[in-house]
Amino acid sequence: MKRVTLLPRMAFSNIRNNGSTYFPYMGASVFAIFTYFVFDLILCNDLIATLPRAMYAMMLVQIGFWLLGIILVPFLYYANSFLIKRRKKELGLFSILGLEKKHIGIMMLFESILLYVVVILAAVGLGILFSKLIFLFLINLAKLPVEASFAVSSKAVWDTLIFYAFVTILNLLVNLFHVGKSNPVELMSGSRKGEKEPKHILLWSIVGVLFMGGGYYMALTVKMDSMLFLVFFQAVLFVVAGTYYLFTSGSIIFLGAIKRRKKIYYCADNFVTVSGMLYRMKKSAASLSNICIFSTMVIVTVVCTFALYLGMDSVKSSVYPKEIELIFLGENMADSAKISLAIRNLAKEEEVELSDYCDYQSCTVYAAQHEAAFLPGQNENGYRSRSEIVLMSLAEYNRLEGKSEELRQGEVFIFSTGADYGYDTLRLADKEYRVKEELKSSRIRNKEINNMNYFYVVVLPDMEGLVDTAAGFGVDTAALLSHRYSFNPTGDADRVEAFSERLNRYAANQPGFAGFFDYRESKSDMESMYGGLLFVGIFYGLIFLVCLLIIMYYKQITEGFEDKKSFEIMQKVGMSDEEIQRTIKKQILLVFALPLFGALLHTAAAMPMVIMLLAAINLFDTKLIIVCAVTVGLLFAAFYSFCYKKTAGTYYRIVK
């Protein structure tokens, strides 16, 4: 009986005795599986499918869930690689003491089963305990009304059991492979084995510089078009590859250059620091590059999340500058003065205030833009270059803007809601005009340089010119000339709702009525969609942060055990405790300062692209984004320094 229980008891004892190695891994696994379970639980819950406007939030959570699975598998595999390296000496000792490899394999199987059970029980238990709270957090972010209980889905439990079983089996097979191919002597020295210097380091350093330069170039020169997201992912891949090659090969070249400077190298502190880093730089650099990349991910994710949260009102006002809009079409439409008076009277009766009131007559055409020419239909690039053009007479423009501008025949004013039009001439179908002035503002729409929507207002000298120009695009102004009324109602919610309903009924009975749009519901839909995005962003920020902390911790304890014997030898040959401590401090500071510097540099280079990515989802407040980036960068640097001191303390204790 004792023989049967020997290996399970050894497995339990191994985990307990190696707590400094196992417990962080278990904590990381519990957090990872807890996050996976909560995401799946939300997706599997029947309640959320019944909520109004929940589709947007669910779509983003679904995307986040699949990406989460892709991220967690390599992360847990990477954490396991630290674990098995620390245990090689112990496993080698078991082999020398008489345990066969099959017995070691069985013991490792029991360890994996024990870890699996503990992690699953903790993760699922925490998920069940906190899932309702997290669900309500999502509901609150998405502004979704709910008055119901949150049920735990058995499907989510099974999905989680299967997912972590896959990860556990993968890690176990990798561990068994490492143990199976090594003899006891190799296992005994495996945890302290130095890394070989990579070959062709100059070539790989140049490759790293090219990758990094290419990624930075793409980030700094990206254009605001439909290729933005593709360019973003290309830039990310280039920077990740460049970071890895520069840390692995470039760092060795840098250390080698220091080594050749005899006055610098042959100092006690520098000699030990540089030699120690060269000894294991390949593996150390891989860890440092991962720390740098995860640090960048944390900063960028948090910047985007907070900028979006703080700029939510700006996003809604950019997409829907006016909450209510009425449209009348045709030459026989209702009298504009009569409609305007009716709107104001109804608002007064319902005690509703109207702000940003705007009404104007125009004709809208759609065209394919070729530089300074707007032509009927779509070009070979399709919808990507399709522009919406509002044609307006000079008299109507002066009335709307309260100005007294003048235009000669053949001249126009033009306004772009995005980047400036930038040409001196304008071709509309078969007619050529000279641009007298490019307008910088309009009451119709706001101007945002990063706006990807191709919307223009073109002011023509007279109504005749407007009719002829519209005809060139196949538009009959007799039927499609429009008068639009738009504004923002403010006041008691019930009063605003009553005003909206009365105005809709009144407008529907007027000649030429073409549409009544109350965008308040659309704004609520937008809050749901962006709330789901915030939810995913917050969780991903936490995931990247935990990944970063685990890598930092394992790096410290792994290198602490590796360096312990070396520093003992240095003490025996005459190096004082003070010199050793000074050397350790310099080495750790140098090692951890490099990833932080790299992450801040990556973030700075990525900011133009981040600004454009947020503009693609209608957040145009560049100043807010920059303020968030600077604030998050400083806070992250402070947090990183705090984590560095804590993990460095673990290193000191091991070495001493």
pLDDT band at 426 (very low <50, low <70, confident <90, very high): very high
Residues 6+ apart with CB under 8 A from 120: 33, 160, 161, 164
| DSSP labels, 112-172 | HHHHHHHHHHHHHHHHHHHHHHHHHHHHHHTT----SPPPPPHHHHHHHHHHHHHHHHHHH
**What pLDDT, on the 0 to 100 scale, is given for residue 187?**
55
Helices of type H across 404-519: 463-472, 477-480, 493-508
**What pLDDT, on the 0 to 100 scale, is given for residue 225?**
67
**What pLDDT, on the 0 to 100 scale, is given for residue 635?**
93
* Amino acid, res. 544: F
Q: What is the mean pLDDT of residues 4-18?
A: 69
Q: What is the mean pLDDT of residues 80-99?
A: 67
Helices of type H across 181-227: 184-190, 201-221
Asked whether the beta carbons of 246 and 293 are under 8 A apart, the reply is no
**What pLDDT, on the 0 to 100 scale, is given for residue 656?**
65
Q: Which two tokens mark 116?
A: 């699996």
Find the helix or strand (DSSP H, E) in which 178 lies: helix 154-180
| Domain edges within the chain | 1-193, 198-318+553-656, 321-518
CA 129 to mean position of chain CA atoms = 28
Closest CA to 314 of 108, 620, 11, 650: 620
**What pLDDT, on the 0 to 100 scale, is given for residue 501?**
93
**What pLDDT, on the 0 to 100 scale, is given for residue 525?**
74
Helices of type H across 353-451: 394-401
CA distances 582 to 123, 269, 576, 589, 651, Å, are 42, 7, 10, 11, 13
Query: How do strand 324-329 and strand 513-518 relate by DSSP bridges?
Result: antiparallel
- CA 310, 311, 317, 320 dihedral sign is negative
Percent of the chain predicted with pLDDT > 70:
74
Least confident of 79-83, 316-320, 333-337, 493-497: 79-83
Residues 6+ apart with CB under 8 A from 29: 76, 79, 115, 119, 123, 164
Q: Please give the residue that has the higher pLDDT: either 193 or 176.
A: 176
Query: How do strand 431-439 and strand 411-416 relate by DSSP bridges?
Result: parallel
Residues 6+ apart with CB under 8 A from 213: 242
Q: Please give the residue that has the higher pLDDT: either 148 or 207.
A: 207
* pLDDT tens readout for residues 211-245: 989 989 988 887 766 677 788 888 888 988 888 88
pLDDT band at 437 (very low <50, low <70, confident <90, very high): very high
* pLDDT tens readout for residues 580-625: 666 666 666 777 788 889 899 999 999 988 898 888 888 888 899 9
**What pLDDT, on the 0 to 100 scale, is given for residue 535?**
76
Q: Does the pLDDT at position 194 exceed 60?
A: no
Phi, psi values for residue 600, rounded to 5°? -65, -35
Q: Please give the residue that has the higher pLDDT: either 646 or 429.
A: 429
> Which range, 66-75, 131-140, 285-294, 418-427, has the best average confidence (pLDDT)?
418-427
Percent of the chain predicted with pLDDT > 90:
20
> Which range, 68-82, 357-371, 439-453, has the best average confidence (pLDDT)?
357-371
The mean pLDDT value of the chain amounts to: 79
**What pLDDT, on the 0 to 100 scale, is given for residue 362?**
92
Q: Does the pLDDT at position 499 exceed 90?
A: yes
Q: What is the mean pLDDT of residues 470-493?
A: 88
Asked whether the beta carbons of 222 and 232 are under 8 A apart, the reply is yes
* pLDDT tens readout for residues 64-88: 777 777 778 877 887 787 777 766 6
Least confident of 369-383, 462-476, 505-519, 612-626: 369-383
Q: Does the pLDDT at position 135 exceed 90?
A: no
Q: Please give the residue that has the higher pLDDT: either 281 or 204.
A: 204
Cα separation of 328 and 513, whole Å?
5
Q: What is the mean pLDDT of residues 28-34?
A: 85
Q: What is the mean pLDDT of residues 155-179?
A: 87
Rg, Å, the chain Cα set: 33
Asked whether the beta carbons of 11 and 111 are under 8 A apart, the reply is yes
Q: Please give the residue that has the higher pLDDT: either 17 or 641.
A: 641
Centre a 10 Å sphere on the Cβ of residue 471 and count the other Cβ atoms it contains.
15
Helices of type H across 311-422: 312-319, 336-349, 394-401
pLDDT band at 633 (very low <50, low <70, confident <90, very high): very high
